[in-house]
């Protein structure tokens, strides 16, 4: 997983599927990411990505609410990449945008 080009390796990955929606939890409540993917859509679609205190960034991508994200599935598992809006932890009063890439095997 990377945020603004900084590689981050949370050790905990948890995947849950409810009907056609897959939720991928990376890391823990203090530092990590939560991804929701619609597997019914063609192609599969990232519905939301919430990043919590990774590489100094906290923010959110939500479909239809600015930012962008692409989701895919292949040999390495699920890949979601795009941009999220939020803030840097060193300047929380300043808006920031981050590029992210998350790969998870579920």
The pLDDT tens digits of the residues spanning 18-72 come to: 999 999 999 998 899 999 999 999 999 999 999 999 999 999 999 988 789 999 9
pLDDT band at 80 (very low <50, low <70, confident <90, very high): very high
Instruction: Please give the pLDDT value at position 29.
Output: 83
Helices and strands per DSSP (H, E), number in the chain: 0, 10
Q: Which domain holds residue 47?
A: 2-104
Instruction: Please give the pLDDT value at position 36.
Output: 98
- Residue 105 exposure: Cα atoms within 13 Å on the Cβ side: 3
Q: Say if residue 73's pLDDT is above 90.
A: yes
6 secondary structure, DSSP code: E
Is pLDDT larger for residue 65 or for residue 82? 82
How many domains is the chain partitioned into structurally? 1
């Amino acid at each position: 997983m990377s945020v603004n080009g900084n590689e981050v390796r949370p050790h905990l990955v948890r995947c849950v599927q409810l009907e056609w929606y897959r939720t991928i939890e990376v890391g823990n409540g203090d530092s990590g990411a939560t991804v929701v993917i619609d597997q019914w859509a063609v192609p599969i679609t990232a519905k939301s990505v919430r990043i919590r205190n990774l590489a100094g960034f906290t923010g959110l991508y939500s479909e239809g609410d600015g930012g962008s994200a692409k989701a895919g599935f292949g040999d390495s598992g699920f890949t979601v990449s795009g941009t999220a809006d939020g803030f840097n932890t060193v300047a929380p009063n300043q808006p920031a945008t981050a590029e992210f890439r998350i790969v998870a095997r579920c």
